[in-house]
Chain A
């Protein structure tokens, strides 16, 4: 693994971000707007129910955006190379696939830091919700969210390799298919029993449950954290395996060079 080639990818995305305003908006405007929307909704519901609900909803939202952004960025950064017909130039360079994924992951991480800071400040200023009250637990929650976002993002990339760039928009859609089962805004217990089984297979569902436990009881549930981490390790392994199988398959079928 050559750090300079990973740096090259980060540099490229930095240049793209400063030239393409939508990339800037992508990191800031979307999280800001969605936080405003849910903030007002939470305030309204909070007034008529309980004040703790605001924390559940806004905390859930902020953690969800971490997952959704990291995942989407991985696919989107790759799709830009496909749309701009640059992908063969990149794939014919000495860059390895591990370096390629590492570069995309770093770009996604740097963007999510900005998005998170913005949302944390806005939630504090407008809705008096301090996400930092989650303390170091926030870092542990983020670890599980980000690992699952990578697994899911790598799975998305494999699908794009397999089915071509027409499937690119799936990058935006897939995370939302998981949302109802992820118990982002409500506890797993309110889901029908079959859906609860699905929720228990999702590492991020344990993160959101853990956040609510922390906000309600002030306790970080290490058991949930470890279950989530164990599931993440399995999914990351499966995603990498699926990616390599798909990559070999598209090299055989010639689909890889048809991406442009």
Chain B
């Protein structure tokens, strides 16, 4: 549990209903500075809805979302200059080059040293050779890396990654995870990360929240969760088994 002063994101008793369907059912959690929190759950469990509630793109029914200790709704623009988001569902405009896209977002996030920052990140993600290419000409793996470059542009203190590498091949995922981990440590950012790839979560997350039907059903570190749920003397995290066990039980 993070100390109060270190809390970057605080979600308290969050509830979101769509008519009679309860998508997020009274969930509470905190994300500390430099922490990577994995948000796991089957399809339709409420992971993306939670992220959209945090970003203010879906209005919650009740509960509280505080980012950097401030109420999100009344400090939206100020907070979002230090937050970023990437998802495999969102893409950057296909008819702009890699560099042009990043330039636009660099201005949206009002970052300093625009060109230097873009080139630095393109180098880190090993796509600087593609900076003049149109996004439509990139492979899906290259586009995923470009989305991550956009997500890191403003040196976010809080990064929300919603299945950023879904449907990528293992090699792309492996490289992507390594790059995210390195940058996360270097820039001490806090990350809320959702994925259906358990290996990805085991690699990157310090702690995990497992949600199903909008409720938190288990939480802990990957190894603690494995021991708790599988009730054995596991020595290595096995989130795949944990996932299957919890999903089938509920």
Please list the residues of chain A having a beta carbon within 8 angstroms of any beta carbon in chain B: 2, 4-5, 7-9, 11-12, 15-16, 19-20, 80-81, 84-96, 248, 251-254, 256-257, 260
Tell whether B85 is near chain A: CB-to-CB under 8 Å. Answer: yes
B residues near A87, Cβ cutoff 8 Å: 90
10 closest pairs, A vs B, by CB? A8-B107, A94-B80, A251-B59, A12-B104, A15-B100, A92-B85, A93-B108, A88-B90, A8-B108, A85-B91
Contacting pair A2 B96 (CB below 8 A): no
Contacting pair B110 A94 (CB below 8 A): yes
Tell whether B49 is near chain A: CB-to-CB under 8 Å. Answer: yes
Query: Quick one: closest A residue to B91, CB to CB?
Result: A85
Tell whether B201 is near chain A: CB-to-CB under 8 Å. Answer: no
Contacting pair A84 B85 (CB below 8 A): no
Query: Quick one: closest B residue to A103, CB to CB?
Result: B108
Contacting pair B93 A80 (CB below 8 A): yes
Contacting pair B90 A8 (CB below 8 A): no
Contacting pair A5 B18 (CB below 8 A): no
Distance between A109 CB and nearest chain B CB, rounded to angstroms: 19
Contacting pair B109 A93 (CB below 8 A): yes
Query: Quick one: closest B residue to A88, CB to CB?
Result: B90
- In the assembled complex, 15 residue pairs joining A and B whose CB atoms fall closer than 8 Å, in A order, are A5-B110, A9-B108, A11-B103, A15-B97, A19-B96, A84-B91, A84-B93, A85-B89, A86-B92, A88-B89, A89-B91, A89-B105, A92-B84, A93-B80, A254-B52
Tell whether B7 is near chain A: CB-to-CB under 8 Å. Answer: no
Q: Measured between alpha carbons, how far is A81 from B92 in the docked complex, in Å? A: 9
Q: Measured between alpha carbons, how far is A12 from B96 in the docked complex, in Å? A: 8
Contacting pair A95 B57 (CB below 8 A): no
B residues near A89, Cβ cutoff 8 Å: 85, 90-92, 105, 150
Contacting pair A92 B96 (CB below 8 A): no
B residues near A95, Cβ cutoff 8 Å: 77, 108
Q: Measured between alpha carbons, how far is A253 from B49 in the docked complex, in Å? A: 11
Contacting pair B77 A94 (CB below 8 A): yes
Contacting pair A8 B58 (CB below 8 A): no
A residues near B78, Cβ cutoff 8 Å: 94
- A254 in complex: contacting residue of B55, B58, B110, CB < 8 Å: B58
Known contacts A253-B18, A254-B58, A257-B58, A2 near B93 by CB under 8 Å? no
Query: Known pairs A84-B95, A89-B150, A94-B77. 12 more at Cβ < 8 A?
Result: A4-B110, A8-B105, A8-B107, A12-B104, A19-B95, A19-B96, A84-B94, A85-B91, A87-B90, A88-B85, A254-B52, A257-B48
Interface of B is mostly: mixed
A residues near B84, Cβ cutoff 8 Å: 92
- B107 in complex: contacting residue of A7, A16, A81, CB < 8 Å: A7
Contacting pair A19 B134 (CB below 8 A): yes
Please list the residues of chain B having a beta carbon within 8 angstroms of any beta carbon in chain A: 18, 23, 48-49, 52, 55-59, 76-78, 80-81, 83-85, 87, 89-97, 100, 103-110, 134, 150
A residues near B18, Cβ cutoff 8 Å: 253-254
Distance between B82 CB and nearest chain A CB, rounded to angstroms: 9
Contacting pair A256 B93 (CB below 8 A): no
Q: Measured between alpha carbons, how far is A9 from B108 in the docked complex, in Å? A: 8
Distance between A77 CB and nearest chain B CB, rounded to angstroms: 12
Contacting pair B90 A251 (CB below 8 A): no
Known contacts A94-B81, A257-B57, A11 near B104 by CB under 8 Å? yes
Query: Quick one: closest B residue to A12, CB to CB?
Result: B104
Contacting pair B85 A94 (CB below 8 A): no
Query: Quick one: closest B residue to A80, CB to CB?
Result: B93
Distance between B4 CB and nearest chain A CB, rounded to angstroms: 26
Q: Measured between alpha carbons, how far is A248 from B56 in the docked complex, in Å? A: 11
Query: Quick one: closest B residue to A247, CB to CB?
Result: B59
Contacting pair A252 B96 (CB below 8 A): no
B residues near A91, Cβ cutoff 8 Å: 55, 57
Contacting pair A248 B59 (CB below 8 A): yes
Contacting pair B109 A15 (CB below 8 A): no
Q: Measured between alpha carbons, how far is A5 from B89 in the docked complex, in Å? A: 24
A residues near B59, Cβ cutoff 8 Å: 248, 251-252
Q: Measured between alpha carbons, how far is A153 from B56 in the docked complex, in Å? A: 24
Contacting pair A256 B77 (CB below 8 A): no
B residues near A252, Cβ cutoff 8 Å: 58-59
Contacting pair B93 A12 (CB below 8 A): yes
Known contacts A8-B104, A11-B104, A88-B57, A20 near B95 by CB under 8 Å? yes
Q: Measured between alpha carbons, how far is A257 from B109 in the docked complex, in Å? A: 21
Query: Quick one: closest B residue to A252, CB to CB?
Result: B59
A residues near B108, Cβ cutoff 8 Å: 5, 8-9, 90, 93-95
